[in-house]
Amino acid sequence: MRKRRVLALGMVAGHLAFAANAAEDIGDAEAGKAVFTQCNGCHQVGAGAQNEIGPHLNGVFGRNAAGLDGFEYSKSLVRAGNSGLEWHADTLSAYIENPRAFASGTRMSFPGIKDAEDRVNVIAYLRIFSDNPRDIPEADPTAKGTDHSVDPEILAIQGDPEYGAYLSSECTTCHQIEGGDEGIPSIIYWPEEVFVVAMHAYKEKKKNGAIRSCR
């Protein structure tokens, strides 16, 4: 097995060893599909999977961190990939347990999956779409659409960027415009339609969260 220079990330050796031991279990892919519902609001996997808020996860095993073309990664994951980090069962387990602890500065706001069995199972599920790429066309996409909708006429409205820059001052008092994440999720690089739908969901109280000023 190729040596992976994960020490450049400053991870605690014992933590990574635990993740590696947990990942030795093959896991239950069917149970992992259920666990993946925690992830599919941002990530797609399976037939037709595309980059959305997060990168698609087809072929993630063996890929360098930040190694998928066409997606804008955080600087921390780009540095990790440049340092040799590859996604395998052990590194995936360590990352999804606590993304911010693993890669300081990641834009991924997900708090992590703390249960070791859940991590093993979701990794077993993701492995299907890496080890058997020929099966991907027959696999059903797992990413679900939003549970709310916006009038297509609203989505078709062309915004005024200058006025938007003025309005964004309410957002950028908390959210960093360059995409950094220091306890507050990033809101850049979202697909435009996904972002508009999310803002309307908060406005109409169909989506819960700590957001206060999107009204």
Report whether pLDDT(104) > 90: no
Instruction: Give the separation between CA 215 and CA 212, rounded to whole angstroms.
Output: 8
Query: What confidence tier does 175 reach under pLDDT thresholds 50, 70, 90?
Result: confident
**Proportion of the chain above pLDDT 90, given as a percent:** 32
Report whether pLDDT(12) > 70: no
Residue 181: the pLDDT is: 55
Report whether pLDDT(11) > 50: no
- List beta partners, residue 86: 64
pLDDT digits (tens, 9 = 90+) for 36-53: 999 999 999 999 999 999
Give pTM, 2 decimals.
Answer: 0.58
pLDDT digits (tens, 9 = 90+) for 110-165: 899 999 999 999 999 999 898 655 444 444 444 444 455 677 887 788 888 888 88
Q: Are 153 and 136 in contact (CB under 8 A)?
A: no
DSSP string covering 11-77, please? --HHHHHHHHHHHTS---HHHHHHHGGGTTTT---STT---SSS---TT-TTPBTT-STT----HHH
Residue 120: the pLDDT is: 93
Radius of gyration of the chain (CA): 18
Instruction: Give the separation between CA 214 and CA 19, rounded to whole angstroms.
Output: 39
Sketch out the chain's domains with CATH numbers.
6-138 (1.10.760.10), 152-203 (no CATH)
- What is the overall mean pLDDT for the chain? 75
